[in-house]
Chains A and B, each alone.
Chain A
Amino acid sequence: MVFFLSLLSIYNLYVSNKLEEFSLYDEYAELREKTIRITDLLLRTPGVPEGWNESNYLQLGLAKGEYVISSQKLEQLLNLSEEEVAENLGLTGYHLFLNVSSALNYSTWVEYILGQYPSSSQVAIPVRRLALLDVNGKNIPVKVLLVVWR
């Protein structure tokens, strides 16, 4: 009987661990898809209103044209707090890390950063995208990294 009860409690522990793992998987999957969609939103739409600024934005978007990031909009975004950006993008409760940096080693070096890169976290979703950044009429290929974490 003692052996049976011990086995039952080990089984209980195993099951609860598994359930937690499954739940994390689900969250991870859902968040990954959401993060990809958010990068689409940022890189391919201009936001609402189209000429938004830090005081009147309804929906954030960075595109000057599809896949071409406006430097001005990117700077406006960096003026917002991480929480404000997360809330507007539907990521309340999560931290954000956004990094936009030159992709080609010979082009003008630019780097824009919002938020903190997660040092250790339970859930961290990194999504890497490519786009062009408009810098004084020149479209510089840039890498875009968005990490959503908690």
Chain B
Amino acid sequence: MKGVAISFDVLFSCVFLLMFLSIYASSFYVPPRFEGEYYHSYKVASDALMILKKTRIYDVQEDPTIQFYMNNGDITPDDMNRTLVDLIGTFWSENRTEDARNVTRSILEQLMPNSISYGVYMGGDVIHERNLSFPSRLAKSSLMVSGYMVGKPTRGFMARAWLQRVRGNETFLLPISPAGSGFGAFYFQGGDFTLEKTFEIPSDAENISSQLDLSVHEERGYIHIYMNDILQASIYSTSTYYGTVNINDVRPGMNVLKIVLERPLFYHSHTHPGMVLKVTYSHEKNLSYAEEREVFERQELPHVIGSPAVWMIYPFDIPKGSQVNSAKLHFEGAGVNRWMEIWVNDHLVYSSSSPPSDPVLNLDIKDYLHLSGNSSTGETNILAIYLDMESTRDRYVTGARGTAEILNSSYVELNYTKPEPVRYYGRITATRLIPFDQLDGQDAALIKKMYFDWTDFPILSSYLHIVQKYSWKVAAAAWHDPEGEPNWNGTDWDKYQIFKSPTGRSVPSSMYIPVERFSTDTRNYVKARDFDGSSSNLVLPDSFVSVNFLVPAQVGYGDVFPNRTAAEQDAIQRLNETVRGYVEGGEIETQTTEIVNVPTMWGLTEMEVRVW
């Protein structure tokens, strides 16, 4: 009996348990009311949006708010067929959000059910909200909209204009980086130093003018400047010399600049950082350009003759992010007696204490470039060549005699693939030189900083040109607001460094600045300092930044005008204002179109109604 009594207890317990569980489970049942309510809210949102889209001003002209805007002239009789979206969108696009809110509220407050909260948004801006409750469920409906400007004519003529052929000003820069005779070449041990560089000016160039920023060290002797074998100036120098020389004989086609530093009475002869030939001319500009992604580039070295030794540095750059496929140096020299060194950055790539008298070398220099993996870091590379002198000693080697030459049949050959090749259409290139004396005044200093604001056109490339009378090593940084200013940690700028001299006297006359270092919205800065050398190695305020950029040679459709002539004149005027200062003259073409009810004057933007 005892066993049966226990069985009933168990049975009852089980039944109670099942009953409890089923009641408990039923409490979790959620009726499908919520989904239906969300669907209904969504329909209310989309209805409101469609009403705004379909209702014309004419349909609601009795509305007091609409009448207010009719009375003050914002809405004209021509606007009657425009929709409420058009009206609200026009106010919004003119930053008249309060007016957009007035219209929206006046219409929707009567239409929307009293119990719901809702909001109308345009391009992410709140136009109007009725906020009755915190949104526990939110239904949204949106629409891409555009429209006419209310109060402007919808029929008329619009014109665009572009330059078909254009003559414009061009600035060509030929930086000459430091080179010289072997250090210690006194009167009795040395001879003249000569540097020749060939460059090309377009064959249709006119109004050519040029100036050489001369930066040399000639201790008691004459400096002779030749252009195409015509003497331009002879200047007697007692020590370092920095000044400008007008150059008159640059001509279309090939030109040769020759600088002769006469055998000095004391010390030695060499050029300093900051020697740049600046040539300006006008010519017919390209209006479109499509660069190949893969670039083959051969850069010819200057012809340099020193006595009793010769040295030079030569900078070359590869745009940041480019995949470097190959980099080669072809070198040809003459008159070498005892010594030869070739460096790429801080790598000694060739040295010999018994080089051939007329050496010819082919060197693979890719591994010595500034690379991250296979990709260019954008930092300027320095090729340094020393004939009959040691790089580490400040004089020519014993046994050096006569002249030593770096021939201009030498070249650096680069093959790389750009991440973003330059391509443009309907634009012209221009160059601006921005001087360095904006932050630090006119004083030369060991550390110099400059700034510039760039608010106009896309930058293609830019270079830093440091001018120094005495120099050793330079490090430079470039940044823009709101990036913070870099600090010098004793060996480097701690961020945004764009160049650092690998060895002494490796300060080129141009240093590549990657495009992304500059901003078109905020202030840009460049800072450079000489380091590890004498405190008299000052950066001069004559230093500058060159910026190559694109100027639009076309303007789009403008306002609507009642006749074709007025529309064309407006387009031509807008084009002239855009290219003023960059263009001498050209043929302008225009295209005029008659518009009839094509809603393109504002938008395209998203209009959204939310209901909760």
A, B from the same assembly = yes
A binding-site residues for B, Cβ under 8 Å: 4, 7-8, 11, 14-15, 18, 22, 25-26, 28-29, 32-33, 36, 39-40, 65-68, 103-107, 127-132, 138-141, 143
Interface stretch among B53-61, B346-354, B414-422, B456-464?
B53-61
> Contacts of A130 on B, CB cut-off 8 Å?
44, 47-48, 50-51, 111
In the complex, the chain A residue whose C-beta lies closest to that of B64 is A106
Stretch in contact with the other chain, from B19-27, B261-269, B522-530, B575-583: B19-27
In chain B, positions 489-510 with a C-beta closer than 8 Å to chain A are none
Point out the residue from B23, B36, B111 that lies within 8 Å of A103, measured CB to CB: B111
B54 touches which of A14, A33, A67, A138 (Cβ 8 Å): A67
In contact, B43 and A129 (Cβ under 8 angstroms): yes
In contact, A132 and B111 (Cβ under 8 angstroms): no
CB–CB B59/A14 < 8 A: no
Q: Tell whether, in the assembled complex, residue A143 and residue B111 are in contact, meaning their CB atoms are under 8 Å apart.
A: yes
The answer, yes or no, to whether B155 is at the interface (CB within 8 Å) is no
| Chain B min CB distance to A70 (Å) | 14
Bound complex: CA A18 to CA B28 (Å): 12
Q: Which of A22, A25, A128 contacts B113 (CB 8 A)?
A: A128
Q: Which of B8-59 contact A (CB under 8 A)?
A: 12, 15-16, 19, 22-23, 26, 29, 31-33, 35-36, 39-40, 43-44, 47-48, 50-51, 54-56, 58-59
Question: Can you name 19 A-B residue pairings with CB atoms under 8 Å?
Answer: A4-B12, A4-B15, A11-B23, A22-B31, A29-B31, A32-B40, A36-B36, A39-B43, A67-B50, A68-B54, A105-B110, A128-B44, A130-B47, A130-B50, A131-B47, A131-B51, A132-B51, A132-B59, A141-B55
Inter-subunit contact A139/B54 (CB<8 Å)? yes
A11 to B39, CA, bound (A): 36
Q: Nearest Cβ distance between residue A125 and chain B, in whole angstroms?
A: 9
**Residue of A at shortest CB range from B19?**
A11
* In contact, A141 and B107 (Cβ under 8 angstroms): yes
Minimum distance in angstroms from A23 CB to a CB of chain B: 11
The answer, yes or no, to whether B62 is at the interface (CB within 8 Å) is yes
Q: Give the complex CA separation of A130 and B39 in angstroms.
A: 15
Report the separation of the CA atoms of residues A65 and B54 in the bound assembly, to the nearest whole angstrom. 10
Known contacts A33-B39, A107-B62, A138-B59; is A129 also within 8 Å of B33 by CB?
no
Interface residues of B in 446-487 (CB under 8 A from A): none
Question: In the complex, A66→B39 CA distance in Å?
Answer: 19
Residues on the B chain within 8 Å of A32, using CB? 36, 39-40
Q: A28-B36, A104-B110 are in contact. List 6 more A-B contacts (CB 8 A).
A: A18-B26, A29-B35, A33-B36, A66-B54, A104-B111, A106-B64
* Residues of chain B contacted by A67 (CB below 8 angstroms): 47, 50-51, 54
Pick the most buried of A26, A104, A105, A132: most chain B CB atoms within 10 A of its CB. A104
Report if B63 contacts A (CB, 8 A).
yes
Q: B50 and A106: CB pair below 8 A?
A: no
**Closest CB in chain A relative to B231 CB, distance in Å:** 85
B110: which A residues are within 8 A, CB to CB? Answer: 103-105
Query: Hey, which chain A residues are within 8 Å of B47, CB to CB?
Result: 67, 129-131
Least distance between B11 CB and chain A CB atoms (Å): 9
Task: Please measure, in the bound complex, the distance between the C-alpha atom of A55 and the C-alpha atom of B68, giving whole angstroms.
Answer: 48
**Are the CB atoms of B33 and A25 closer together than 8 Å?**
yes
Interface string of B62-75 (1 = CB under 8 A from A): 11100000000000
CA–CA, A135 to B63, complex, Å? 17
Identify whether the interface residues of B are mostly helix, strand, loop, or mixed.
helix
Q: Check A141 against B32 for contact (C-beta < 8 Å).
A: no
Docked pose: A143 CA to B39 CA in angstroms: 18
Given A103-B111, A104-B111, A129-B43, is A141 in contact with B51 using a C-beta cutoff of 8 Å? yes
Tell me the nearest residue of chain A to B16, going by C-beta.
A7
Complex contact A29–B33 (CB within 8 A): yes
Contacts of A7 in B (CB 8 A): 16, 19
Chain B residues, CB < 8 A from A139: 54-56, 59
Instruction: List the B residue with the shortest CB-CB distance to A39.
Output: B43
Chain A residues lying within 8 Å of B35, measured Cβ to Cβ, are 29
B-chain residues with CB within 8 Å of residue A103 when the two chains form the complex: 110-111
Q: Cβ of A25 and Cβ of B62 under 8 Å apart? A: no
Cβ-closest chain A residue relative to B62: A106
Q: Which residues of B contact A4 (CB under 8 A)?
A: 12, 15
Which residues from B are CB-within-8-Å of A11? Answer: 19, 23
Query: For B63, what are the chain A residues with a Cβ–Cβ distance below 8 Å?
Result: 104, 106
CA of A92 to CA of B178 in the docked complex: distance in angstroms? 98
Interface centre among A14, A39, A130 (most CB of B within 10 A): A130
Contact assessment for A66 and B19 in the assembled complex, using a CB-CB cutoff below 8 Å: no
| Chain B hits for A66, CB < 8 A | 50, 54
Taking the nearest CB of chain B, how far is it from the CB of A74, in angstroms?
Answer: 17
**A28 touching B33 by the CB < 8 A rule?**
yes
CA distance A32 to B574 in the complex (A): 59
Output the least CB separation between A140 and chain B (Å).
Answer: 7
Contact B40–A127 (Cβ < 8 Å)? yes
Please measure, in the bound complex, the distance between the C-alpha atom of A145 and the C-alpha atom of B185, giving whole angstroms: 104
Cβ B36 vs Cβ A29 within 8 A: yes
Shortest 3 CB-CB distances between A and B: which pairs?
A29-B32, A130-B47, A25-B31
Inter-chain contacts of B12 with A (CB < 8 A): 4
- Closest chain-A Cβ to B598's Cβ sits at a distance in Å of 21
Chain B residues with Cβ under 8 A from A104's Cβ? Answer: 60, 62-63, 107, 110-111
- Give chain A nearest CB distance to B611 CB in angstroms: 12
Give Cα distance in the complex from A138 to B110, angstroms.
18
Residues of chain A lying within 8 A (CB to CB) of residue B51: 67, 130-132, 141
Question: Which single member of B39, B55, B111 contacts A36 (CB below 8 Å)?
Answer: B39
Select from chain B the residue with minimum beta-carbon distance to A108: B62
A residues within 8 A CB of B48? 130
Neighbouring B residues of A107 by C-beta, 8 Å: 60, 62
A59 to B237, CA, bound (A): 103
Question: What chain A residues lie within 8 Å of B22 (beta carbons)?
Answer: 15
Task: Give bound CA distance, A90 to B79, whole Å.
Answer: 43
* A25 lies within 8 A of B32 (CB): yes
Known: A11-B19, A127-B40, A129-B43. A141 touches B50 (CB 8 A): no
Enumerate chain A residues within 8 angstroms of B19, measured Cβ to Cβ.
7-8, 11
The chain B residue with its CB closest to the CB of A125 is B36
Minimum distance in angstroms from B243 CB to a CB of chain A = 79
Q: Is the CB of B58 within 8 A of A8?
A: no
